[in-house]
Structures are given as structure tokens and as C-alpha cells.
Amino acid sequence: MTAGTYLRQQGRQAVIWYGGLGLLTTQVVRNLSLPPSYWRLVLLEVDAMGVRSVAVALTAAVFTGMVLALQSAVNMARFGAENYVGPVVALSILRELGPVLTAILVGGKVASGITAELGSMKVTEQIDALRAIGVNHIKKLIVPRLLAALVIFPLLTILADFVGLAGGMAVAVFERQVDVYVYWNNIFYWVTLRDFFTGVGKSFFFAAIVTLIGCYNGLSTEGGTEGLGRSTTATVVQVAMGVIIADYFLTKLFLFLFW
């Protein structure tokens, strides 16, 4: 296969993937307000996505805050500005690292699980069976997952923000001898609610991106168990890339709207 043929093939596959994802998004939006309401399924997804992902999100958050505080304190000590470790850690976590790391770690876990579940239903023709008996598979299989993600991701981001700041405080206070009052006072002085809500706002978009990618890859799985493995692997990579790329454009958007 020549380089030109390979590039054309990859470009065609990318167009098909983005087009299919866009069509699925349109179908999901159209089905959001249609009956019936599967609230029981939403609650089950909240448990599966959120409760079982808390440990992953908080572990990443606390060590992120600790390493940020350690690196910031060491470098800011050169300028006699160790007391400003708190705002540096807070702004980094609240605006960027909190929502992004939560979306990548939890999103990779959640999206790959969705792809595996829906993909197994697809290859065993369970989705075709739902269609045959007149069940709206978009409403039953995808909408509950999207609604649960829109609840869970902001909550996990808020928890990760708090735990990350606490981890930063532990390093700043006990290892760098920064006064705990100075740490929190500088955070509350320099950090505004706008910084906090910027990160939380991003988490809603990340939730939609993660869920839709996982659902689309699951519904488009072909080739039996081998194809299911390829779809699950692709989901993890695409979720990470999608979150990172979306983060840039969301940051530009929020800076334009609120600054």
C-alpha cells in the first residue's frame, strides 16, 4: 500500500467516524425529551460511573496537588515567594488539571466499559432484538448513560479539586513549612469563583464527549470478539485525545466569554 493510498484510507475512515459520531449526537439530543423516562437506569449508571470511580479520581487528584505544590515551592523559593504556592496550585487544579485529569482517567474507564457493554450487545445481536420489538435503543441505552455522566463528572471534578488542594496543603505545610493560614488565605484572595466554575463548566462538555465516544464505538463494533477488543482500545485513545483537544477550545471560549 502506497503512502497516498494509506492517507486517503485514513482520511475516509476519519470522516466516517466523525460523521457517525455527529449523527449519534443528533439522535441523542432528539431523544432526550421523548418518553419513556428510564430514571432507574440513570441511577444505576450513576452508581456504575460515579461511586466506583471515586477512588481513581481522588487518588490522582491528591498526588497531582502534592507534586504541584512540591515543584512550585522548590522553584518559587528562589524568589522568596513560597507563600504563593497555594494560588499556583489552586489555579492549576481548578482551571485545568482537576477537570482534565478526572475526565481522562474516569472517562477512559467509563467509556471503555460502555464500549465493551454495547459492543457485546451489538455482536450478539441484542440491539437488533430491541429494535425488532419496537424499543428505542438510543433512548434506553445511551440517554441514561449521558444523563448520568452529566451529573457524575462535575461532582467528581469538585471532589478532585478539593482533594487536590488538600494534598497541596499537606506538602506546603509539612514539607516546605508554609503556614496553613497563609496557604488558604492566599488562595481565597487570588482565586475567584470564576476560576472554579470554569473548570466545573468544562466537565459537562467532557462528560458528553466521553459518553458519546464510548457509545458510538460500542454501537459500531463489528467483527465479533476481536472487533470488540479493537473498539475498546480505540475508545481509550480517542477519549484522551478528545478531552485534551476539547480542553484547548473550551479554554479559548471561556476566556473570550468571561475575561
pLDDT in tens, 173-193: 998 888 899 999 999 999 999
What would the pLDDT profile of 111-157 be if each residue is shown by its tens digit?
999 999 999 998 888 988 888 888 888 999 999 999 999 999 999 99
Q: Read off the pLDDT of each residue in 21-49 and give the average, rounded to a whole number.
A: 89
Q: What is the pLDDT of residue 12?
A: 86
Q: What is the pLDDT of residue 33?
A: 83
What is the model's pTM?
A: 0.93
Q: Are 209 and 246 in contact (CB under 8 A)?
A: yes
Q: Are 242 and 139 in contact (CB under 8 A)?
A: no
Q: What is the pLDDT of residue 1?
A: 62
Nearest partner of 144 among 44, 238, 232, judged by Cα: 44
Cα–Cα distance list, 177 to 58, 70, 83, 187 (Å): 24, 12, 10, 17
Burial of 103 per CB tally in 10 Å (0-12, 13-18, 19+): buried
Q: Is the pLDDT of residue 92 over 80?
A: yes
